[in-house]
Structure 1
Amino acid sequence: MRKIATGAALAVVASLVMAPTAQAEPADAGRLPRLVNVNRIEGHLDNLATIADYNGGNRATGTPGYQVAAQYVIDQLERAGYEPEVHEYDYESWSEVSPSEIEQVAPEQVAYEYGTDFLTFTYSVAGEVTAPVVPVNTGAADSGCTAEQFAGFPEGAIALIRRGSCTFQIKTDLAAQAGASAAIIFNSGGAPEFEQPVLGTVGGLSEIPVVGTSNDLGEALAATEGLELRVAVDSVVETRSSFNVVAETETGRHDNVVVVGAHLDSVREGAGINDNGSGVATVLEIARQLPRLNENRLNNAVRFAFWGTEEEGLIGSTEYVQSLSEEQIDDIALYLNFDMVGSPNYARFVLDGDDSLGGSITPPPAGSGAIETLFHRYFDAQGMVSEDSEFNGRSDYSGFINAGIPSGGLFSGAEGVKTEEQVEWYGGTAGESYDPNYHTAADDLDNINRQSLDELSDAAAYAVETYARSTLPVNGVLRTAQATAPAQFERQGDLFLR
C-alpha cells in the first residue's frame, strides 16, 4: 500500500564473520503495539495540556511550563523503573528586542511592513545603517556564493542577494568580508514558501545586520535605480541554560543502543499538544510499557530522550550528541525520531532514509534506508498507505545524522497541503494543511487526530520492539559505515539555512 517505493536493500559485507541467523522483523514482534494504548497516550497529552494551562499557556524552553513538564516525564519514568538523568547544557539564545525596520530613503520615501514584506534572520547582529543598495548577481541561483561576485563591492553599501544554492551564512560572511554594512536576502520565487519573506537563520551571530524579504520586494529592489535604504535590527544574544531528560533500560546491550527521541518544548504561542506533545506522549508510553516485555526480547538497550530547546534550533539534541565521546557515539546503533504524530489533517509520513525523494542535501548514513523500509513494511502489513518525507533538517535527527548514526522516524505533517489523492488514503480535507494549528495557540487537545495518534504510535512501538531484538539490517550489529562529512540540511528546525 506504500505510495513511493525506495528500493532500499541491506548490503552484506563479505568479510563479516558469519553468525547465527537473526530475524530482522520477528514474526511475534507485536506485543508492544498492543501494550501502547492510545487512551494512555491521550492521558499524557491531557496532563501536558493541564501543565501548560496552569503555567502561562506553553511549555517553551526556560519557562515554568517546561520545568513542570520535564518533572512529569521524570516522575513517569521513575514509576516505570527507570533512573532518568538530566543532561544540562548552555547555549546562545538570540531574540529580537523590537521588530526590525526597512525603509527606502531614495529615490523616494517608502516604509516596508515587518512580517509582510520582510523578517529578521535569527542570529543577525543588531545595528542600523543607511546606505546605497548594490545587487550581487541577483539573477543567478548562486547569488552571493563566491568572493568573486563581490569584487569591487563599494565599502559600506548594503548587499542585496537572492536566496539560492549556498547557505545564508556563506552569503552574509562573504558580504561582510567585502565591506557590506548589511545584507538583504530575498526569496527565490515559485512555491508559496519561496514567495513570502524568508524565514531564515545565519546559524551563528553575524557580523552585519541580515534581513530576508519576499520575492516580490527583492525583485523590485533589484530593479530600482539609485536605491538607498535604511535597515535597522534590534536584537540581543544571551547565554542561557536548559536540559534534556534521558533514561535507558537496564537490560540489553549497552554497546548497541537504540535511541528514541521527541522534543519536549513547545513554542511560546501555545501548549504544543501536537508539536510535540504527541511525540512526547508516544515515546513516554512506549518507555512505560517496554519493561513489561520478557527480558529475553530486549537484546539491545533502549535509551529514551526528551529534548529541550528544539524550537530554538534543535539545540538540546545537538548539544547532547556533541557531548558524547567517540566511543559513546559508536555505542548508538540507531536513532528514531517522533515529532508530530497527531496532526488533525494527517498523513502517514516516513522519514526518507534512502533519499529516494532527493531532498536530503547529504544522504543519510548507511542503515537509514533500512529503518525506512521497516516502517513502510509495517504499514503495508496493516493495509495502510505510507509516504516518504524528506530529511530536511527540521527535527532532532539532525545531530545524529551529523554524527554518522542511522536515523529514521515518523511524521504526520505540518504546514504542507493535503492533496485529493491523500484524502482517499487518510480522509481529511484536501487543500488544507496537515496541521492548520501548527505553531499557534490552537495546537491544543481539541485538535489532535486520535486515529493518527493510534496508527503512528503503534508503528513507533513496533519499531522499538523490533530493534530492541535486533538491529542487523541497520548496522549489522556493528556500524558498517560512518559519515564522511557533516550533513548539510535545508533547515535548522523551522528556519531555512539556504
Structure 2
Amino acid sequence: MRSAIIVALAAAASAASTPASLLKRQYHAAKPRLTADALKAHITAENLLAGSQKLQDFADAHPNNTRVIGSPGHNDTIYWLKSELEALDYYDVTLQTFSLVAMVSGQINAVIIDGANTTAGLLEYSASGAVTAPLVPVANLGCEASDYPAEVAGNVALISRGSCEFGLKSALAGSAGAAAAIIYNNAAGGFNGTLGVPPRPEGEYLPTVSISSELAATYLDAISGGATIDATIDVTTVVQNTSTSNVLATTRMGDHSNRLALGAHSDSVAAGPGINDDGSGTVGVLEVAKALSKYHVNNAVTFGFWSAEEEGLIGSTYYVENLPANESSQIRAYLNFDMIASPNYVFGVYDGDGDAFNISGPSGSTQIETFFEDFFESAGVNSTPTAFTGRSDYGPFLTANIPAGGLFTGAEVLKTEEEEEMFGGEAGVALDICYHAACDDITNLNMFAYELNSKAIAAAVATYATSWEGFPARNTTTVSRRSVVTDQMRKRKQPRHHGHRHGGCGHVPKASQ
C-alpha cells in the first residue's frame, strides 16, 4: 500500500511540474484519430429524437408553446445548449449577447370576413388592434404610396403579395390612413411571414394578417361587382426590446488559423415550437459537436447556434460583423443547416457553383456542394440543388466572402412530381406543411431525412477538421462575394438520380415579399 501511495504521489508531482503546453499535447494525443465513418457512427435517430423532445419540452413548459427570441422557451434552449457543450470539457464556450426589438408573443383573436370566420396568418411584428370596416382593394402590388386610394382611410386595405416587403405594404397602408391590412398570397394557399423589425421610415405598422389567394379572389370579385365586404381584424401582439445570445463553441485543439465553422439557428417563430425549423438543425449540429469531442482534430472547429434568425439573420450577422479581420480570415468555410427533417423532404444541397440557380458563392463553395452531393450519392439516395440566395444564416458569411454551403429539406413550397419520383413523399403537398406554424412540433419530423442529414454533417466536419487538402485558399482581398453565371458559362445542373426512393410523411426564402 505504501509503495502504491508513493507512486501516486510521484505521478501527481510529475503532472504538476509538467508545462501546460506538454499536458495539452498529451491530452490531444490521447484522443483517437478522427474519421468520417467513426464520427457518423455516433449519430443515431434515438439521440436526435431525444434532443428534439428536449426542445419541445422547453416550448411546452410555458404559455404560447414557442421558442421565439425573448421567450422563456428560447432562453431555456440557449442555456441548455451552453450546458451541454460545457459538459464536454472540449470546447471554449461563450454566449454572445446582443439586444434587439422582438415580437415575443402574438395571436389572432378573430378574422371575420363577409360574416364568416376566416383562416388567416398573423404577420410577425403586426401591431395590436381590433378593427371592423369594409375591405378596400389596393392597386398594383401596394409598393408605392400612389397605389393606396383615398377610400382606404379608416378601412381595411386588401393588398397583393409580391415585389416588395410585407412591412412596406403595412406601413404604406398605415400612412394612407387604413385601420388594418390584409395581404393575400400571389400563389395557391396561404402563407406566414414577417413585417420586419420596426421602425420603418414610411410609418408604423398596422394590425396585419395574411390570407390565401383563393379567398382574396372571391372578395375582389364581389367588390368589383359593387358589393361591400366587411372585415373584422382582431389581433394581440407584444413587441418589445429584448436581449438574446448566440451560443459559440470552439475546439481548444486544432489549427485555429484554418478553422471550420458551422451552425444552425436556435430560435423559432412566435407561432410554434420550431422543432423542424430549426430545431432539427440545432440538434443535428449539437449531436455532431458531442461526437467530435471524443476525437483529435487537426483543424479547429467553431459551432455557432445563432439567435434571431427568424428576425432577419440578426444573430449570425452580429457574429460575422464583430469578428476581428484576422479571425474572419482564419475561417476557411462555413456550413449551414436550417431545416433538415422536413416531413415531405427533399435532400437539398446549396448551389455553391451557381449552375442550377445562376448565383454562385465565394471560391470553395463549389467544393462544399460537391462534397454533399457525393455524400448522398455514396448513400444511394438522390439530391437536388437548392437556391443559394443568402436567406438563411450562411448569408452574412457570404457577405464576408467566406465559402459556404449546407443542406435544406424544404419549407412551404409544394413538392413537384419530379421530386416525388426522386424522394418519395407526395407531390402537390408542401415540403413542410407546418412551416412557421403551431404544428411544427415533435411529430413534424421525417427521421430518415433527419438522421441521414445529420450523418452528412458529421462526415463534412470529420473531413474538414482533418484536412483542407484540395480546398482553395481563402480569398480575403476580393470585396465581391458572389457572381452570376453567364449563359455562355452556364450548364444547367440536374438533380442527382440514383434509382432509390424513400417515402416522406407529409424553403422558401425567409425574406418576406
TM range (shorter): 0.7 to 0.9
Question: Which residue in the other structure is 1:121 paired with?
Answer: 123
**Which of 93, 102, 108 is the matching residue for 2:102?**
93
**Which of 457, 465, 479 is the matching residue for 2:462?**
465
1:387, distance to aligned residue in structure 2 (A): 1.0
Question: Which residue in the other structure is 1:338 paired with?
Answer: 337
1:49-448 equivalent positions in 2, closer than 5 A:
49-50=53-54, 52-53=56-57, 56=60, 60-61=67-68, 62=70, 65-78=73-86, 79-94=88-103, 98-99=107-108, 110-114=114-118, 116=119, 118-127=120-129, 134-138=136-140, 143-150=141-148, 158-188=156-186, 194-205=187-198, 207-209=204-206, 210-223=208-221, 224=223, 225=226, 227=228, 229=230, 231-265=233-267, 274-290=276-292, 292-295=294-297, 297-298=298-299, 301-310=300-309, 314-325=313-324, 328-358=327-357, 364-365=361-362, 367-391=364-388, 395-415=392-412, 422=419, 425-426=422-423, 434=431, 443-444=441-442
Q: Deviations 1:220-263 (Å, cap 9, x if unpaired)?
A: 44341374755554333112222221111234443443211123
Q: Work out which of the two has the higher radius of gyration on C-alpha atoms and give 1 or 2.
A: 2
Is contact 2:129-2:236 (8 Å) kept?
Answer: yes
Q: Deviations 1:440-494 (Å, cap 9, x if unpaired)?
A: 55743x7755543443223222222333355577662233644479xxx9743xx
Q: Aligned to 1:461, what secondary structure does the other structure show? A: helix
1:169, distance to aligned residue in structure 2 (A): 3.0
User: Aligned pair in 2 of structure 1 residues 480, 408: CA closer, same or farther (>3 Å)?
Assistant: farther
Q: Deviations 1:253-278 (Å, cap 9, x if unpaired)?
A: 43443211123345677765544443
1:85, distance to aligned residue in structure 2 (A): 0.6
1:49, distance to aligned residue in structure 2 (A): 1.9
Rounded to whole Å, the distance in 2 between the matches of 1:328 and 1:251 is 16
Is contact 1:185-1:211 (8 Å) kept?
Answer: yes
Rounded to whole Å, the distance in 2 between the matches of 1:102 and 1:68 is 33
Rounded to whole Å, the distance in 1 between the matches of 2:291 and 2:280 is 17
Is contact 1:263-1:307 (8 Å) kept?
Answer: yes
Rounded to whole Å, the distance in 1 between the matches of 2:43 and 2:466 is 26
Question: Which residue in the other structure is 2:512 paired with?
Answer: 497
1:341, distance to aligned residue in structure 2 (A): 2.9
Is contact 2:196-2:311 (8 Å) kept?
Answer: no
Q: Deviations 1:307-359 (Å, cap 9, x if unpaired)?
A: 3344565443344334445555444333211233344554322122234443x
RMSD: 4.1
Name the amino acid aligned to 1:126. S
Is contact 1:286-1:461 (8 Å) kept?
Answer: yes
Rounded to whole Å, the distance in 1 between the matches of 2:373 and 2:385 is 9
User: Aligned pair in 2 of structure 1 residues 291, 375: CA closer, same or farther (>3 Å)?
Assistant: same
Is contact 1:80-1:288 (8 Å) kept?
Answer: no
Is contact 1:48-1:69 (8 Å) kept?
Answer: no
Is contact 1:33-1:458 (8 Å) kept?
Answer: no
Rounded to whole Å, the distance in 2 between the matches of 1:366 and 1:151 is 49
Name the amino acid aligned to 2:476. R
Rounded to whole Å, the distance in 1 between the matches of 2:344 and 2:229 is 46
Is contact 2:334-2:394 (8 Å) kept?
Answer: yes
User: Aligned pair in 2 of structure 1 residues 151, 66: CA closer, same or farther (>3 Å)?
Assistant: closer
Q: Aligned to 1:335, what secondary structure does the other structure show? A: strand
**Which of 38, 41, 47 is the matching residue for 1:43?**
47
Is contact 2:307-2:316 (8 Å) kept?
Answer: yes
1:420, distance to aligned residue in structure 2 (A): 6.0
Rounded to whole Å, the distance in 2 between the matches of 1:411 and 1:490 is 10
Name the amino acid aligned to 1:479. T
Rounded to whole Å, the distance in 1 between the matches of 2:60 and 2:175 is 44
Rounded to whole Å, the distance in 2 between the matches of 1:432 and 1:149 is 34
User: Aligned pair in 2 of structure 1 residues 53, 214: CA closer, same or farther (>3 Å)?
Assistant: closer
User: Aligned pair in 2 of structure 1 residues 36, 76: CA closer, same or farther (>3 Å)?
Assistant: farther
Rounded to whole Å, the distance in 1 between the matches of 2:162 and 2:470 is 37
1:68, distance to aligned residue in structure 2 (A): 4.7
Q: Aligned to 1:83, what secondary structure does the other structure show? A: strand
Question: Which residue in the other structure is 2:491 paired with?
Answer: none
Rounded to whole Å, the distance in 1 between the matches of 2:172 and 2:66 is 38
Residue range with higher mean Cα deviation, 44-53 or 256-265: 44-53
1:409, distance to aligned residue in structure 2 (A): 0.8
1:202, distance to aligned residue in structure 2 (A): 1.7
Q: Aligned to 2:204, what secondary structure does the other structure show? A: coil
- Aligned pair count reads 443
User: Aligned pair in 2 of structure 1 residues 403, 37: CA closer, same or farther (>3 Å)?
Assistant: same
Q: TM-score, normalised by structure 2?
A: 0.71
1:418, distance to aligned residue in structure 2 (A): 5.0
Question: Which residue in the other structure is 1:7 paired with?
Answer: none
Tell me whether 1:479 sits opposite 2:476 in the alignment: yes
Rounded to whole Å, the distance in 2 between the matches of 1:173 and 1:464 is 44
Structure 1 vs Structure 2: percent identity of aligned residues? 37
Question: Which residue in the other structure is 1:24 paired with?
Answer: none
Residue range with higher mean Cα deviation, 234-243 or 340-349: 340-349
